[in-house]
Structures are given as structure tokens and as C-alpha cells.
Structure 1
Amino acid sequence: TMGYFLVFDFQLPPKSFSSLNLRYYALRLFENESAAFFMMLDHKQLFKKFGFKLHAAQTYFKGLLFCLLLQPEK
């Protein structure tokens, strides 16, 4: 069966402001180092390499939350 893979990622936008920075670093306090390392990977290239194609991408909360909807390639 064909399914979809949904990835949520917190990213600090290039043009951020102090309250957004505070929220980002507060969220990062709840993660361990391996999760923080996973968040820094280039997900688009990683999933494309392993047989997923990008179906949709959207950012929310002024660029803080990045969502990818991926579909396995046939």
C-alpha cells in the first residue's frame, strides 16, 4: 500500500526576532543531542536519496515549524 510520511521540524528562520528565538530555544531544551542533530539534517535531500519524493512542504508560525509531506517512490 502507498502511504505518506509526515515530518515536523522546528527551524530558526533567517529573519527571526527575539520572541521567536526564545520560543525556538525553549523547544530545543526538551530535546536531546541526537534529536537536535536530526533536526539539522537536510531532510529534502535525505528522503530523496532513500526513495521518497516531496509531495508538499509548508512553513508555519513565521517559519518556526516546517512540515514535509513525503510519498514513497514506486
Structure 2
Amino acid sequence: MMTLEQIRQRNKAENAAAQRLQAAGYRLEGWDPRTGQRIAAQITGENTNDERRTFYAFPTWQDAAAALLG
């Protein structure tokens, strides 16, 4: 069981990772209740005929930031 301080630290790290992803141009689509994964999207050529959407699923935003941002 996590202590209150551990939960705070985890939430702070998750929020920081989510902000880094948004700053890099990814859209945070939320959480999929069927899989328990967080969904991030990368959209190129938005609102054009060449629009492309790529979706990524990760267990946490920290994992997403590590994989997508390096």
C-alpha cells in the first residue's frame, strides 16, 4: 500500500510527464477503461486532406514520455 507522500510524488511525476508530452505536440486523449492504458495522439496535417492521426497506448504518462520523447 502506498503512503500519502508516495501518491503525491507519483501524481506529481505523472503530471510533469503529461505536460512534457503536450509541450511536444502530443494530445492526451485520456484513459481507456477496457485496457487501463493512457492514450496519446500525434496529429499531423490537421484539418487538411493529408491529416494523419497516430495513437499510442501506455500504462502511465511517464512511460509514454520516456518512449515518445526519449
Q: Give the TM-score category using the shorter length.
A: 0.3 to 0.5
Higher relative contact order by CA 8 Å / sep ≥ 6: 1 or 2?
1
Q: Which has the higher helix share?
A: 2
TM-score scaled to structure 1, two decimals?
A: 0.31
TM-score scaled to structure 2, two decimals?
A: 0.32
